Amino acid sequence: MILHYLYILGITVEAITGALKAGTKKMDLFGVIIIACATAIGGGNIRDILLGNYPISWVGHPEYIVITTCAALITILAAPCLKYFHRVFLILDALGLVTFTIIGVRMTLALGHGFIVASIMGVITGVSGGVIRDVLCRDIPLVFQKEVYAGVSIVSAWLFLLLHARGLSDTCAILITLGTGFSLRLVAIYCKLEIPKFNYTQIQ
């Protein structure tokens, strides 16, 4: 299944971004591993907990934790080289974002929930790993501020649901959503596309 391989790629990339972020906060070895795992696996955890869908993914598949731990360790060793691959990570991260979103939507539909719940669970699966990472590193979650990040996840979720409702085959719907969401994110990155921000100053 293509989604499975993309999922493994996705958690690996997310683990690397988590480890690098932990590095900018000068965390120690174990801190880096924990942040990396939380970034990679955390989004799916929150979805499973909200749905009461037990056992949650990595409890049933501990190998996911092994993969993200290894990714964190390799990141620490290879950090000096990684700086030159910044763009590659942005691209892989975009792929991960759309993959996670689709997985979240499909799993929620499979549990018998409706479209609104499915779209929300897709977005939660896609973006909340990054939110956990930023909260643990004491930053305002990037995904709420920068470029069309949560936006790509929301569009992907609804596009997949629309194609699904239209009766397209699962593989077709997945590939079209992957292509569209991924392109949208790349366009957003390269054109520095931003959604209008809401800037509010409180009168004291």
Closest C-alpha to 190, from 52, 91, 81, 59: 91
Assess 135 for contact with a second copy (CB under 8 A): yes
Nearest distance, CB of residue 167 and a second copy, angstroms: 23
Taking CA atoms, 25 is separated from 167, 189, 194, in Å, by 48, 25, 27
- Binder of a second copy out of 2, 5, 59, 171 (CB under 8 A): 59
Please state the closest distance from residue 172 (CB atom) to a second copy, in A.
27
**Span interacting with a second copy, options 30-38, 92-100, 169-177, 180-188, rule CB under 8 A:** 30-38
d(CA 97, CA 150): 9
Residue of 138, 102, 131, 108 lying closest to 26 (CA atoms): 138
- Between CA 172 and CA 160 the distance in angstroms is 10
Residues that bind a second copy (CB under 8 A): 19-20, 22-32, 34-35, 45, 49-52, 54-56, 58-59, 62, 65-66, 76, 79, 83, 86, 113-114, 116-117, 120, 123, 127, 131, 135-141, 143-146, 148-151, 154, 194-203
